[in-house]
A = this chain, B = another copy of it.
Amino acid sequence: MTRAQLFEQILKKKSYLCIGLDTDPKKLPQHLLDFEDPVFEFNRQIIEATADLCVAYKPNIAFYEAQGPKGWVSLEKTLEVIPQDIFTIADAKRGDIGNTSELYARAFFESMDFDSVTVAPYMGADSVKPFLVKDGKWVILLALTSNPGSQDFQMLKLADGSEEYLFEQVLRTSATWANSDQMMYVVGATQGEFIERVRAIVPDHFLLVPGVGAQGGSLEEISRLGLNQQCGLLINSSRAIIYASSGEDFAEKAREAALEVQREMEGYLEKYVG
């Protein structure tokens, strides 16, 4: 999916919501356990109930990988029921030496047909570039994450006289590898004060913001500081939506939770994007 197509979706749905399909077999509503593939059935119903309210779905691959081969089957089937006009993110945080990253790119872009993969930056250019294979396929690079451990290395200051943090150098360097038509960044919402620093370096790129909701970021603050003229934000919510209820009404309650976020986003789009 191209940036123009993504922006078109955002305007049409008045939403920049990404729903995280972090589907934990231990948290499924009881009545789904009779299905042959309960994880897939859960995802299918969540997607059916929310597809008009969000512009992206993001399965975190760990949840599927932890189930062994059958988890990958659930993932493939899930991908097949996501409508074509919705952006898909394999939240895999992969990254390896060049010829090995190629294999990961093949797994997510060819064997499966994801629009994007999250990639870890530590191994540098040749670990990231193999994911930049063709138009409409995206790298979403980890820049500043929302977890406590982001303090350990991402927030180290560099000795180049710039007074910049490592995550800022990651943005600056990686922005030379691909432009805002192929690269996005993960920027943690629990650190709203840093959104401005990010926007100073990458004003045009889309930012994938996890951590709104369960992890505690403010949707208003992120939107005010992060939205640009082509929206430029995908805000992820996982648990607050998909586990809004653990009963038979889980899909209905997920829709209600997604609708609440979408309505708030509609207001920010009017106010800040126009």
User: Could you list which residues of chain A lie within 8 angstroms of chain B, going by C-beta atoms?
Assistant: 22, 60, 62-63, 65-70, 72-73, 76, 93-98, 100-101, 103-104, 106-107, 111-112, 120-128, 142, 145-154, 156-160, 163, 166, 169-170, 173
Contacts and interface: CB of A to CB of B under 8 A. Distances in A.
Contact of A147 (B68, B93, B126, B157): B126
A63 B111 CA distance: 13
Contacts of A112: 68
Contact of A69 (B22, B72, B151, B173): B72
Contact of A121 (B122, B124, B126, B163): B122
Given A66-B104, A159-B163, 10 more contacts: A60-B100, A66-B103, A66-B111, A68-B72, A72-B72, A123-B142, A124-B148, A124-B154, A156-B158, A157-B160
- Of the candidates A22, A70, A95, A106, the one having the most CB atoms from chain B within 10 angstroms of its own CB is A95
Given A103-B65, A107-B68, A169-B156, A147 B122 contact: no
Given A72-B69, A73-B69, A100-B60, A149 B123 contact: yes
Given A96-B93, A158-B158, A124 B107 contact: no
Given A68-B111, A72-B72, A173 B153 contact: yes
